[in-house]
Amino acid sequence: MTYSYPEGFKPIRANINAGCRYSLEISTPNPTSNLTLFVLMMNPSVANGANSDRTINTILNARGNLYRKVVVVNTTPVIETDSSKLKTRISDIHKNALPNAKAIEHMVKTAGHFHFLVATGEVIKGVNDDSYIKLMNQIDYLTVGDGLYVVKLTAKGYGGHPLYKPKEMIENLTHVRKADDQWHLKIV
């Protein structure tokens, strides 16, 4: 199912190619803010340059007005609305890992100063665990002083998915940092 973007939010660019979304940039009603919200999730759903989805709208409605731009990227760019089906798409995930990493590197370099929301949900061993670690290492290397945040930590120490979380929880992000080499997170 597709949704309209909330009033005042407009997609700037959706980098979509051959069933993969490498990034989604959205302008906000607050163009004078000096911050960007950079969001890392597991896999893209249906949001694109014309339509949004529930997860994107949840983030925009709760946090978007604080930033000049929201940039959404994923540990795997393969468009799949049901993350449990990603295990059947392993070859597509591996084939698109390098273009995804390059797209994210470009987005991080051009984002300026940002808050970084880790919202992957539980990372799936053999599906996106390797790309998650590599991307987090790359992002950590490319940035200085940008805060890592989660809506909530999962039981295994990853950034919880924002869908179905209370708006107040998303409005009051939790500051986290790297806990180990696998990029489990812990509260600061």
Domain of 35? 10-187
Residues 4-36 have pLDDT tens digits of 999 999 999 999 999 999 999 999 999 999 999
The answer as to whether 4 is a domain residue is no
Instruction: Give the mean pLDDT of 114-124.
Output: 95
User: Is 2 within the bounds of a domain?
Assistant: no
Residue 172 belongs to a domain? yes
- The count of structural domains within the chain is 1
Q: Across 9-147, where does the E strand assignment appear?
A: 10-17, 20-27, 36-41, 69-74, 114-118
Average of per-residue pLDDT across 88-105: 94
Percent of the chain with pLDDT over 70: 99
pLDDT at 47 over 70: yes
Question: Has residue 23 been placed in a domain?
Answer: yes
Tell me if 3 is assigned to some domain. no
Mean pLDDT, the chain, whole residue set:
94
What pLDDT is attached to residue 145?
64
Residues forming beta bridges with residue 148, ordered by sequence position:
116, 176
Does residue 70 lie within any of the structural domains? yes
Q: H or E element: which one contains 177? A: strand 174-178
pLDDT of residue 89 exceeding 70, the answer is yes
Q: Is residue 61 part of a domain?
A: yes
pTM of the model: 0.95
Would 84 be classed as within a structural domain? yes
For the residues 79-86, what does the mean pLDDT come to? 92
